[in-house]
Amino acid sequence: MRDIGHLEIGPLRMTLRASSVARVEYPDSAYAGFFLPPSDLVSLEAEFGSSAAQGGLEPLITLPVELVRKACAFPSGEPLWRADRHWAIWEDEADLICCVGIHQREHARQSCRMARDGSKAVLSIDPELLGEDPDRFVSPLVYPMDQILSWGLLSRCGGVLLHAAVAVHEGVGWVFAGHSGAGKSTLSGLCHAAGDRILNDDRVMVFQRDGQWKVAGTPWHGSGRFSEAAEVPLGGLFFLKQADSERMEDISPSQARLELLNVAAVPWFEDTWSQGILEGLEQIVQGVDCRRFHFTNTPAAVQALRRIQELGGEVVA
């Protein structure tokens, strides 16, 4: 078994492995920077020591994922969780089995057996999806499978995945949280037009590294198609609410908990995973500046954010 690539998302590293000499390709631009061929990682480790790709940072947790060309039948019995017609998860003693591509099919397009403790995973891919070349894997680990695996890994390192965007201003990341229609992509576009870097406009990872809060982009972008593989210090977290004028509202810790539960990806089907995520959310409530941002879909929203940022997060009257 040999390493044939690495998918690095925030503090997580998913090491792709295969029994043969194989190559992996990720043609989707959203994964540019997140996928590293083995040669790239070797070069980076030569430069940064044992550090990872994103700014020379070590992953907080690593998951080996074995790739297998094989069509798998669906597990018997009712699943623990079913995401409409797209994917479902079953349990099998110490393992979870996730199948993607389940609608009107005799076997899954992808089936992943993963240890509950996040120590290993085997990803079986329908050979029909891979073509005739037995040594070529095209985008083997992508949404939603990579996101599902990330839930288990984040639960072990105190991180959370939020439905949110992040704009980087003067090296600090400001997170805008909300579900579809809340204005994440709109506000991201306004910040981008004003000169900010947008790491993602739909899903971000929030976690602690060496006692400091960080935010990282993911490949799972929104309508603005922003997805950058980078990690920056976290300045604050704003829950979005569209309004007729700009206003920053303080909220209580209990309100912040409810708001976070509304935008966090909590894998309720697995107790150990969900408990780890809930503990991470509580740490955010205790350690991160959380506000509600009432804003208009105009450049005035960015001007209001700039005033907050210039004052180090203090509320502007």
**Residues 6+ away with beta carbon under 8 Å from 151:** 161, 265, 267, 273, 277
Are 108 and 126 in contact by the 8 Å Cβ rule? The answer is yes
119 and 239 belong to one structural domain: no
**Which of 44-53, 111-120, 223-232, 246-255 is predicted with the least confidence, judged by mean pLDDT?**
44-53
DSSP secondary structure letters along 208-276: EETTEEEEEE-S---TT--B---EEEEEEEEEEEE-SS-EEEE--HHHHHHHHHHHB---TTSHHHHHH
Instruction: For 234-282, write each residue's pLDDT tens digit.
Output: 999 999 999 999 999 999 999 999 999 999 999 999 999 999 999 999 9
Triad 174, 175, 176: Cα angle to 5°: 125
Number of domains in the chain: 2
233 and 254 belong to one structural domain: yes
190 and 64 belong to one structural domain: no
192 and 290 belong to one structural domain: yes
Residue located via tokens 């993602």: 200
pLDDT band at 180, cuts 50/70/90?
confident
253 and 272 belong to one structural domain: yes
> Which domain covers residue 296, as residue numbers?
158-310
Res. 172: pLDDT tops 70: yes
150 and 163 belong to one structural domain: no
26 and 132 belong to one structural domain: yes
Res. 54: pLDDT tops 80: no
Alpha-carbon torsion (63, 211, 236, 188), positive or negative: negative
Res. 80: pLDDT tops 50: yes
Are 192 and 164 in contact by the 8 Å Cβ rule? The answer is no
Return d(Cα 26, Cα 97) in angstroms, integer.
24
Instruction: Note the Cα 64 to chain centre separation in Å.
Output: 17
235 and 94 belong to one structural domain: no
pLDDT band at 315, cuts 50/70/90?
very low
Identify whether 150 is part of a domain.
Answer: yes
296 and 255 belong to one structural domain: yes
Average pLDDT over residues 149-172: 97
Residue-level pLDDT at 106:
85
Identify whether 315 is part of a domain.
Answer: no
**Which of 51-65, 102-116, 153-167, 245-259 is predicted with the least confidence, judged by mean pLDDT?**
51-65
Are 101 and 110 in contact by the 8 Å Cβ rule? The answer is yes
Q: Which of 164, 143, 198, 156 is nearest to 11 (CA)?
A: 156
150 and 164 belong to one structural domain: no
- Which tokens is 247 given? 């206003």
Identify whether 316 is part of a domain.
Answer: no
Return d(Cα 1, Cα 18) in angstroms, integer.
5
Average pLDDT over residues 194-209: 97
151 and 167 belong to one structural domain: no
177 and 302 belong to one structural domain: yes
Return d(Cα 151, Cα 25) in angstroms, integer.
24
**Which of 50-54, 91-95, 249-253, 277-281 is predicted with the least confidence, judged by mean pLDDT?**
50-54
